[in-house]
Structure 1
């Protein structure tokens, strides 16, 4: 697996993508480089293939030691069946562990040579020892090479400020959720999506009604006219997105939608430097029918809106088919913070890395609520007592 780190040609420091300038910045000498200049550089990389077996010394083999074999005194019959059952259970447990180990992969940091373990969908991360950013190029090759990316345009500083401004408006959030250490843990992550553009042709037929009511003297009259209506034409839909990561928190990634695809760019590995990135594990065929159905429903709604001027409309038949389709494997930016409460529940805060839109489920400090309630009750009691004395 190619493990890539982008180096500054001036001081050999690490280059990261800077959202505020949309260039690559050296954190040591503060030099800035354009995409064209980065393309001309040769990134530092290690290429030795590695997996969890190298780190786990055979844990991923799925073949546990059989301590029951060749032991004196074992006899055929119920005792032998018991041993066999126990071995099968051990095999099952070992198989589960093997699956977990197989999902883990080790890599060598190009900067310090440390061995780091990641899960199967991580495509960009940081070395835990030297803290330099690395891109796992092997995760983003062939069919897993993204077509496009919307780079971060919200900087870390702006994300931290946005988080503090959002939380400080909430009166009953635990202080541990927004202390300095927690705020500094905010992480920029590229999440994988399927991006879909389509053009459809369709037609629909239905029945429309116009109702007129009037009164003459004491008599009320109602007139209902019925019309057969139809519409046909082409509908163009753009920028439909569908999550492509099975482990992603749906509320987190949907809460920060939508993105403005005018900023979408052809994918370059350099955009990932300085951020985390996830590789897709949901394929197009798994979500294709769902997205196409959503597109047809959207097209039908748009065409239905062209039938107006009636009291009511009932659609009897609608038929749409795609003329053109374009699927793009896309990475979209999110700033995120997670917080584990004392009861074990995990809370998420997320911010759209392009637009700054925030979404979060915030924890509640019930001690603060009790304290405020107690103070309010005490003040109310004092006022009542003073009023009674007066």
Structure 2
């Protein structure tokens, strides 16, 4: 028995059939009519989009450490959060830059990939303190005592590990779009809806899509201090670690692929969607994004981490060690917040009274 080709309506998804009266394909659900040539083209697009869009990444990021490089490095582990930190041999007992608890010496460094590149710190600890003070300025609901620099528990310069993904994307995406026109006469209101099937095909290249390689550093915090200017990256040398810490990655390149794929595909779909204009409503029908030519680099980004404590709660701030972008949550003085709410309510009430009084004088009320 021969296979029967079933066509779905691009407008409503219902099964459509040939109508001998009009000599066209017609949807019995939304009454949309189609020329056979249009449906054949639609079918070809769907077949192309059914192709797989997975890609095998080249995960040979980083390299092997030379004995003379690793010989000057030590590893430290936090017994609280489990973070493993790399420092030079001169680093004394310290505390974890992520949770503030003491970290203990584990011994000779070994076992991790050597970074391909590093973006050196351009801003020092003094700039990090100034960044915090600037971040606190103008915050009217911030507890006054929180602004005292003595409450800064730790300021740590940390190189955070990142995987950078390069890839090209070939995309075939279809959209269902509508245009509406309304008018009226003496008896009725009319609405005419036109349905369109749109296709977008093309290629787009991506360079250095970042994925954080550390579980201790919140992704939202790192994304908030992006971007980093990779033009200032240099081939990695251990000398750049002197006086700083480096987070030892605990998310491998292979484990980061899924997130990189998601970011690349989402960016591709957003870019293609931005080219669909002039319609009242647009929705994605089918999407196929095929990646190829993928490669990965391992890089260290400079970040200042500041930990402060207030009322028994720890607050963490982060500053981009390259350009000074500063982020972090702040506590709220509940007493000041209540006073502000009372004053705001009173101001609104006074404003409303004043407007009513002016309207009364004008004879409107």
The equivalences for 1:219-368 within 5 A come to 219-343=188-312, 345-365=313-333
Alpha-carbon distance, 1:124 to partner: 4.7
Aligned residue in 2 for 1:62: none
1:258 aligned counterpart, secondary structure:
coil
**Paired residues of 1:125 and 1:277 also in contact (CA < 8 A):** no
**8 Å Cα contact 1:123-1:279 kept in structure 2:** no
**Do 2:75 and 2:108's aligned partners in 1 also have CA atoms closer than 8 Å?**
no
Answer yes or no: is the 8 Å Cα contact 2:152–2:307 preserved in 1.
no
CA–CA distance in structure 1, aligned partners of residues 251 and 175 of structure 2: 38
- C-alpha deviation, 1:199, in angstroms: 0.8
Task: Find the aligned partners of 1:45 and 1:147 in 2 and give their Cα distance.
Answer: 14
TM-score computed with the length of structure 2 as normaliser = 0.61
Who is 2:84 aligned against?
120
The alpha-carbon distance between structure 1 residues 341 and 347, as it changes in their structure 2 partners (threshold 3 A), is same
Is the contact made by 1:188 and 1:335 (CA closer than 8 Å) also made in structure 2? yes
Gap change, CA 1:335 and 1:213, over 3 Å in 2: same
Partner residue in 2 for 1:200 = 169
The alpha-carbon distance between structure 1 residues 156 and 47, as it changes in their structure 2 partners (threshold 3 A), is closer
> SS where residue 144 of structure 1 aligns?
coil
1:179 alignment counterpart: 148
Q: Corresponding residue for 2:125?
A: 156
Q: TM-score, normalized by length of structure 1? A: 0.58
Q: What's the CA shift for 1:322?
A: 0.7
1:41-80, CA deviations, whole angstroms, 9 ceiling, x for partnerless residues?
A: xxx999499999xxxxxxxxxxxxxxxxxxxxxxxxxxxx
- Distance (whole Å) between structure 1 residues aligned to residue 209 and residue 108 of structure 2: 28
SS at 1:306 equivalent: coil
Q: Any conservation in 2 of the 1:186–1:335 contact (CA below 8 Å)?
A: yes
After superposition, the Cα gap between the structure-2 partners of 1:267 and 1:173, relative to the gap in structure 1 and judged at 3 Å, is same
Cα distance change of structure 1 residues 180 and 149 upon mapping to structure 2, 3 Å threshold: same
Higher helix share: 1
- Which residue number corresponds to residue 54 of structure 2? none
Which residue does the alignment assign to 2:347?
Answer: none
Cα 1:138/1:258, change in 2 over 3 Å: farther
Contact 2:72 2:89 in 1 (8 A): no
| Structure 2 CA distance for aligned equivalents of residues 168 and 270 of structure 1 | 36
Separation in 2, partners of 1:162, 1:50:
30
Q: Please list the CA deviations of residues 226-266 of structure 1 after superposition, one character each: whole Å capped at 9, or x if unmatched.
A: 22211101022233222211222444333322323232222
RCO comparison, higher one (Cα < 8 Å, 6+): 2
d(CA) in 2 for partners of 1:187 and 1:281? 20
Question: Where does 1:25-104 land on structure 2 (aligned, <5 Å)?
Answer: 47=71
Compared CA separation, residues 329 and 212, structure 1 to 2 (3 A): same
- Alpha-carbon contact 1:121-1:280 (below 8 Å) kept: no
Deviation at 1:272, TM superposition (A): 1.9
Alignment RMSD (CA, Å): 3.7
Change (3 A) 1:124 1:296: farther
Deviates most, 168-177 or 280-289: 168-177
Instruction: Supply the distance in 2 between the matched residues of 1:125 and 1:356 (Cα, whole angstroms).
Output: 28
Q: Which whole-Å CA distance do the structure 2 matches of 1:357 and 1:331 have between them?
A: 17
Q: How many residues align?
A: 263
How do 1:370-389 and structure 2 match up within 5 A? none
Label 1:213 to 1:163 Cα distance change in 2 as closer, same or farther (>3 A). Answer: same
Q: How far is 1:331 from its partner? A: 1.0
SS in structure 1 of the partner of residue 84 of structure 2: coil
- Gapped runs of 5+ residues in structure 2? 1-67, 94-105, 344-365
Q: Distance in 1 between matches of 2:192 and 2:73?
A: 79
Cα distance in 2, alignment partners of residues 121 and 128 from structure 1: 13
In structure 1, distance between residues paired with 2:232 and 2:203: 26
Which digits, 9 at most, give the CA deviation of each residue in 1:137-188, with x for residues without a partner? 964x775211112222223332222211222323454565443444594222
